[in-house]
Amino acid sequence: MAAMEVGNDVQEQCVELLNEAALLTDDVKKVANLKKVQELIIHQDPALLDNFLDEVVAFQSDTNAEVRRAVLGFIEEACRKDHEMVPKVVANLSLLLQDSFSVAVVKRTIQAIGNIYKITLQWLSQARSVTDLMDSAWSMLGQMKRQIISYVDHDNDGVRTMAVKFMEMVVLLQTYSEPGSLKRQEFCLDGVPMTLKIARPRKLEEEARTVFAEMIKFHGSPHISSVNLMACMGSLTLIARCRPSFIGQVISALESLHANLPPTLSKSQVNSVRKHMKMQLLNLLKHPASYDSHRNICTLLTDLGASQSEVARAMPPAEELRKRQRRTEEPPGAADDDTPGTKRQKFVPEDDDDDDEEVPAGRVASGARLAPVDKMKHKLNAIDITETWAAERLTPQLAADLVLVSMQHLPDAPPALFSNTFTPISAAGTRSQIQHVARLLAAQLTKAGLGPGVEATRNQGIQMTDHDWEMEDEEEAPAGSRRPIATVLSGTVTGREAKKKVALLPSGQMHKKHMAKPLRLTEITRPLPKDELEKSMTAALDRLLAAEKAGPRRGTVLRPSQTAGHDVGPLHTAAVGQDAGSHSGGHARPGRPGVQLAVRGVLQLGGLQQLWPGDAQHSQLRADLLHAHLGADGAARLQGRRNPADSSVPGGAGGSRLGRGHPEGVQLGPGHLPAGPAAVWAAAERPARPAGQLRAGAAAAGHGSRPGDPRPGAGAGAAAAPEQRHAGHAGRTARRGAAQVARRGDAAGAAGHRSAEFPHLTVPEGVTREWTDELAKLCLHLYLALLPRRESLIHELAHVYVLTTADVKRTILRVLEAPIRGMGMESPELLTLVETCPKGAETLITRVIHILTDKTPPSVELVDRVRDLYQKRVSDVRFLIPVLNGLNKSEVIAALPKIRLNPVVVKEVFNRLLGIHADTGNFSSPLTPVELLVALHNIDPAKCDMKTIIKATSLCFAEKQVYTQEVLAVVLQQLMEQDPLPVLLMRTVIQSLALYNRLIGLVMNILTRLASRQVWTEKKVWEGFIKCCQRTKPSSYQVLLQLPVDPLREVFDTAPELRAQLRDYVNGFTASQREHLPADVFELITGRKPGEEPQRVSPPPAPEPAAEPPPRLPRARNRKRSKRHPPSSGAADAPMKAIDY
C-alpha cells in the first residue's frame, strides 16, 4: 500500500515536472526538470519507465540543444536500466544522430549509442530467444555503427574524437578478453554465444579487427589534428592494455607516428603530443604483456626524453617479467592453444550459466579465430621485416656512408625542436643501439613504402575494405533465405525483405501536438519515380508559363504554386523549380510574374530545405532562379530572411549559388553585385546562428561578385571585424574546404576545387563546367580577401594549388599579388609556408617570394627560410633569385651557375643584384658589379653552358650605367690576375674595348701580360688573343712582336693579313730598333735575315724614338686613361719596351 503511494507520488511528480517543462521557455529550467524526472524514474521507480519514456523522449524535438542532450542522457540511462527500452529508442537515436542543428547533440548521440550498442549486444546474448524486435533494433544499431565509424572523416573535430572513442568501444566489445587484459569487468565477446544468429562472434571479431585497422590508419594519417591524434593514441593504448594481442600493432603505430609526426602540428602541439605519447608508452610498459616489445618501448621512450628512472619505475616487477619470459619460451602453439582455453573456462561459469550448451561451440571458436590474428600479424609486421633487413646491413661502413650522404642535407644550425628533444646516445655502437637505429630506419622506410617488409606484406596483403561490411550483411541473413521467393502480391522479392522486419518508429512522436516539432518530410515521403517526376515537372511548368500569359490573374496562380509546395511534396516543387531554372537561362527575364511564381515555388521549398542538407543541385537551381529573376538585394534579403529559421548549411548553399551558378550570370547587371555583401550583412545582423549565417554570407560573398570588385571582400571583412570569432568561421569554412580538396585528390578535378572553399556544397555530377579563368577568380575571391586577415589560410592555398589544373594555377599566380602584399614579409604564416613548401607548389612559393621582395630587400627571416628550403628540400634555384640580395657572397656565387634559365630571368637576377630598379636608398647587394662579372667568368664551363654565360655577360655589358669604363677596367684587371685564365677573358676584353675605346691602353697592357704568360698554351684564350690583336691593330703590333716565333707563326696562320701589316711595320723600324727583335721573329715577319735590306721600303709612320729602352717585361700597371696612345711606330725601336699608358 505504501509502495503504491510512493509510486503514485512519483508518477504525479513526473507528470507535473513534464507538463511544466513542456510550457517552460527557459531552457535551463527545462533541462533541470528533465533531469529531475530522470532521477525520479530511473532511481526511484523504474516501473514508470514504460509510462514516461515517450513523454520524455518527445523532448528530443526541442529546439534547444541542451534539452536534446538531456533527452539523450535519459535514453541512455533508460536502456541501461531496462534493456527492453532499446528497440523503443533506436529510431530516436538514429534521428538524433542526423541532427543537423547541433554538433553537440551528434556528439552526445554517438556517446549514447556507444553505450547502448554494448547494452544491446549483452541483451541479445543473454536473451533466451531473439525476437523480431531485437533483430530490428540490432540491425538499426549496426547501421548507426557504420555511420559513426564513417564519421572519423567528419568535418568537426569533436565528432571525429567521439567516433574514435566509439571505435575503441567496438574493438573492445567485439574481441575476446585475454589473460593479460586489464581487469575490465565489462561485457565483451566472451559473453556472446556462438549460436547468436544475428550477431555471430566470428563476424563481430572480424569487424573489430577491421575497425582497429581503421583506427591505425586514422592514427597515421598526416592531416590528423592534435586532439584527434591524442584521443586516438589513448584509445589505441587502451585497446593494447585490454587486448594484449594488439600490443605489437599499437607499438608499431606509435613508432611510425614518432618518426613522422603530422606536419600540421604547431610547436606546442608537438610537445603535447610527445608528452602524451610518453605517457601512453609508460602505461604500456607497465603492462606485463608488453614484455616482448620492451626493447622497442624503451628506445622510443628514451627518444621522447624519458629518464632512466622513469622507465625503471614503469617496468613491471622483475618477478613478473621472469614469469612472462618462461611463458614465452614454451612452444608457441601450446601457449596459444592454452591461454584462450583456460580463460574461457574461467569465464564460462560467471556469465554463461544459462547457456551451458553453448560452451563447446565457444571452444571451437577459440581455435578458429587464430587465423585472423595471424593474418593481422603479417600485415603489421612490415616494420619488423624491414628492421631485420636493415639491422643486417647496418655496418659501421654503411652507417658512415649514410651519415656522409645525409650530411649535406643538414641545416647550418640545429632547429629548435631538435635541440629541445635531443638526448645524447649513451649506448652508441652496441647491439641494441644498432637495432634501434634499424628500427627507426625501418619505420621511415615502411612509411615511404619501401623495403622488403612492405614488399612482403604487399604480396600477402589482406584487403580490409568495404566488402567486410557487405560480408557481414550477407551473414546476417539466414542461410538459404536469400533465394528469391515469388509472392502473389508483388512478384519476386528477396528473402530478406520477405522476412519483413519490424519497423521501429521513433518514440514520443504521437505526443507532438503540443510540441513544435520540425516537419521531417523525408520520413513520410518517398521519392517519386523518375518518369512521374518529370511528368509533373513539365506539367507544373506549363501551368506556370500559361499563367504568366494570364497576367493580372497571377494572384490566383500563386496559390496552386504554394499548394504544390505543401501538398504535392517537395520533390514536385523541386521539379518545378528545376525546369523553371533551366528555362530561366534562356528566355525568362527578371520581373516576369510567372517566373517569379516559379521562384516563389522554389522559395517555398526553402522552408523544407533542411530535408536535403546536402542537396546542392537543388539549392543551385534555387539560387539560379533567384539571381536571374530577382533583384540581387531582394534575393539576399530573402536568403537572409529564411536563414534564421533555416538550417545554416543550405542557406549558405543557396547564397553561394547566387552568383556562381552561371558565370555569365555575374554579368547580368550591376544590381546583382551587392548580393554577396548584402548576404554577409544579413548574416551579421542575425545573432541567432552567427556561425552558419556568416558561413552562408561568406559563401555568397565569395561567389556573388565580379572578380576585382573589392566590395564582397570588404563586406566580409567588415562584418567579421566586430566579432573576431566570425572571421574564424569564415576562415575555417574556406580552410576546411581546401583541406578537403587536398584529401580528395585531383580526381575530383574542377568540381572538387569548386567546392574547395565550401565543402558543404557537393557539386552534383554533370553540373561541373570547364574551369575558366573567370570562375577560378570568382572562387578565389573571398579566400584572397580573407588572406591578409587570417594568414593561416595560405597553407590550404598551397595544397589546392598542387592539386589543380595548369590553368587554375596560372590564375592563382596572377591574383596572388595583392593579398600577399597585404600579408607582408613579416607574416609568420608566410614564412612557415616557405619553410614547408609542399611538393609541387614550388612555383607558387617562388611567386610569393617574388611578390614579397619586389622593390624591397628581403628580410633576414625570409632569407633564412628560403635558404633552408633550398639547401634541405628543394634545390630549385628559382627560390633563391628573389632573395639573392639577402644571401652572402659565396652563396650567390655558388648559385650563379644554376641560374641558366631564360634571359628574362637572368636579367631579373642581375637587376636585383645590381639594384637597377630598386630604390637606391636602402639597396645593398652582396655582390658589387665587379664581383658579379668576375664571378660570371669563373663559372665552371662544365656546370653551365658557355652560351648562357656569354649571354649573361652581355647583359652586364648592356647595363652601361653600372658597367662603366672604370668598372670594366677593374674587372679586366682582376680577371687578368687569375690563373688559369678565364675562358671568356678575351671576349670580355674585346667587348669592353668595343664599348669604351679608351680602354685600349689597358687592353694593350693585358695583351702584353698575356704574351708574357705564354697565352698560346691556353687554346681558347689564345684564339681570343689573336682576334683581339686583329681588332686592336696597329696598337697590337707591339704585342705581337713580343711573341716568340712559334706562336707568332700561329698568329699569321690564323690571320694572314697581320703578317703583311706587321712586315710593313717592322720595315719602318730604325736599325737600332730592329736589333731588339729576335732574329727568327724578324725573319718570320719579313722573310729575310735581320741584316738584309728590305726590298720595298715603306715609310714608317712618324717614328718617335724612345729615349731609353725600358726593361724587357712591361710592368702591368693599371693606368686607365692614357693619353699617349697609340704607341705607334715611335716605340717600335724597342719591341720589349713597356707600354706605358
Q: Which stretch binds other proteins (CB under 8 A): 157-165, 492-500, 817-825, 1105-1113?
A: 157-165
Pick the binder of other proteins from 30, 165, 695, 900 (CB under 8 A).
Answer: 165
- Which residue in 226, 604, 925, 1042 binds other proteins (CB under 8 A)? 226
| Radius of gyration over every alpha carbon of the chain, rounded to an integer in angstroms | 42
* 3-state SS string for 436-490: HHHHHHHHHHHHCCCCHHHHHHHHCCCCCCHHHHHHHHHHHCCCCCCCCEEECCC
Task: Report the residue from 107, 258, 600, 627 that binds other proteins according to the rule CB under 8 A.
Answer: 107
Is 315 a binding residue for other proteins by CB under 8 A? The answer is: no
CB of 722 to other proteins, least distance (A): 14
Residue 903 phi, psi (nearest 5): -60, -30
Euclidean distance between CA atoms 1084 and 1063, whole angstroms: 9
Question: What are the cell numbers at 65?
Answer: 540543444
Tell me which residues in 683-702 interact with other proteins (CB under 8 A). 691
Q: Which is nearer to other proteins, 162 or 376 (CB)?
A: 162
Rounded Cα distance, 677 and 635, in Å: 12
> Which set of grid coordinates corresponds to residue 1038?
707591339
Residues 723-742 that bind other proteins (CB under 8 A): 725, 728, 732
Residue list 854-913, contact with other proteins (CB under 8 A):
none
Residue length, the chain? 1141
Nearer to other proteins, 615 or 723 (CB): 723
How far apart CA 995 and CA 968 sit, in angstroms, is 10
Closer of 282 and 1000 to other proteins (Cβ): 282
Min separation Cβ 225 and other proteins, Å: 6
Burial grade of 529 (CB within 10 A; 0-12, 13-18, 19 or more): exposed
Helix, strand, coil % in the chain, rounded to nearest 5:
70, 0, 30
Q: Smallest gap, in angstroms, from Cβ of residue 688 to other proteins?
A: 12
Least distance in angstroms from the C-beta of 157 to other proteins = 5
Binding residues among 264-283 for other proteins as defined by CB under 8 A:
266-269, 271-272, 275-276, 279-280, 283
C-beta closer to other proteins: residue 725 or 821: 725
Q: What one-character-per-residue DSSP string does 698-746 give?
A: HHHHHHSS-TT--HHHHHHHHHHTT-HHHHHHHHHHHHHHHHHHHHH-G
Interhelix angle 1019-1032/985-995, nearest 10 degrees: 20
Cβ closer to other proteins: 725 or 1115? 725
Among positions 86, 208, 231, 1039, the unique one binding other proteins when judged by CB under 8 A: 231
User: How many residues sit in the footprint of other proteins (CB under 8 A)?
Assistant: 39
Name the CA dihedral angle for 955, 956, 961, 962, rounded to a multiple of 10 degrees. Answer: 150
Strands 485-487 and 491-493: antiparallel
CB of 207 to other proteins, least distance (A): 20
On whether the CB atoms of residues 580 and 620 are closer than 8 A, the answer is no
Q: Contact region for other proteins (CB under 8 A) — 229-237, 409-417, 571-579, 668-676?
A: 229-237
Q: Are residues 918 and 857 in contact, defined by beta-carbon separation less than 8 angstroms? A: yes
Nearer to other proteins among residue 336 and residue 861 (C-beta) = 861
Q: Where in 1111-1130 is the site for other proteins (CB under 8 A)?
A: none
Scanning 47-55, 150-158, 444-452, 473-481 for contacts with other proteins by CB under 8 A, the matching segment is: 150-158
**CB closer to other proteins out of 692 and 929:** 692
Are the C-beta atoms of 855 and 824 separated by less than 8 Å? Answer: no
User: Of 165-173, 426-434, 674-682, 997-1005, which part binds other proteins (CB under 8 A)?
Assistant: 165-173
Give the Cβ contact number of residue 12 at 10 Å: 10
Choose between 111 and 620: whose C-beta lies nearer to other proteins. 111
Collapse the DSSP code of 236 into the 3-class scheme (helix H, G, I; strand E, B; otherwise coil) and give the result. helix
Please state the closest distance from residue 873 (CB atom) to other proteins, in A: 24
Cβ distance 900 to 943 under 8 Å? no
Cis? peptide before 980, omega within 30° of 0: yes
Give the nearest distance from C-beta 792 to other proteins in angstroms: 9
Phi (first) and psi of residue 486, to 5 degrees = -85, 130
How far, in Å, CA of 667 to CA of 346, rounded? 78
The residue (of 160 and 672) whose beta carbon lies closer to other proteins is 160
Q: By C-beta, is 371 or 417 nearer to other proteins?
A: 417
Q: Which one of 164-172, 766-774, 859-867, 958-966 is the stretch in contact with other proteins (CB under 8 A)?
A: 164-172
Closest approach, Cβ 412 to other proteins, in A, equals 25
Q: Which three cell numbers stand for residue 641?
A: 530572411
Binding part of the chain for other proteins, among 110-118, 193-201, 446-454, 807-815 by CB under 8 A, reads 110-118
Rounded to a whole number of angstroms, the minimum distance from the CB of residue 249 to other proteins is 20
Q: Comparing C-alpha atoms, which of 525, 39, 641 is closest to residue 31?
A: 39
At 1137, the amino acid letter reads K
Q: Which is nearer to other proteins, 149 or 376 (CB)?
A: 149
Cell output for 638? 530573402
Helix, strand, or coil (residue 647): coil
Paired residues of 493 in beta bridges: 485
Which of 64, 125, 161, 619 is in the footprint of other proteins by CB under 8 A?
161
Nearest approach, Cβ of residue 790 and other proteins (Å)? 10
Q: What's the min distance (Å) between Cβ of 86 and other proteins?
A: 17
* Contact pick of 162, 621, 893, 969 for other proteins (by CB under 8 A): 162
List C-alpha distances in Å: 469 to 5, 154, 374, 498, 548.
52, 20, 21, 22, 53
Least distance to other proteins from the beta carbon of 831, Å?
14
Where does this chain touch other proteins (CB under 8 A) — which range of 155-163, 653-661, 832-840, 1102-1110?
155-163
Query: Is the Cα torsion angle 24, 30, 32, 33 positive or negative in sign?
Result: positive
Eight-class DSSP state of 1110? P
Of 265 and 874, the one with the shorter C-beta distance to other proteins is 265
Nearer to other proteins, 267 or 346 (CB): 267
Which position has the grid cell 569548386?
754
Q: Which is nearer to other proteins, 167 or 611 (CB)?
A: 167
With beta carbons less than 8 A apart as the criterion, state whether 1091 and 1118 touch: no
Closest CA relative to residue 620, chosen from 562, 592, 589, 580: 580
CB atoms within 10 A of CB 291: 23
Among 53, 96, 169, 653, binds other proteins (CB under 8 A): 169
Report in angstroms how near the CB of residue 499 gets to other proteins at its nearest. Answer: 34
Residue from the set 44, 98, 100, 115 that interacts with other proteins by CB under 8 A? 115
Q: Which of 49, 86, 94, 114 binds other proteins (CB under 8 A)?
A: 114
| DSSP letter, residue 492 | E
Q: CB-wise, 395 or 420, nearer to other proteins?
A: 420
Cell readout for 336 is 596459444
Q: How far is the CB of 655 from other proteins (least distance, A)?
A: 20
Residue 267 or 1121 with smaller CB distance to other proteins: 267
CA distance 157 to 122: 31
Q: Which chain residues interact with other proteins by CB under 8 A?
A: 103-104, 107, 111, 114-115, 156-159, 161-162, 165-166, 169, 182, 184, 225-227, 230-231, 234, 238, 266-269, 271-272, 275-276, 279-280, 283, 691, 725, 728, 732
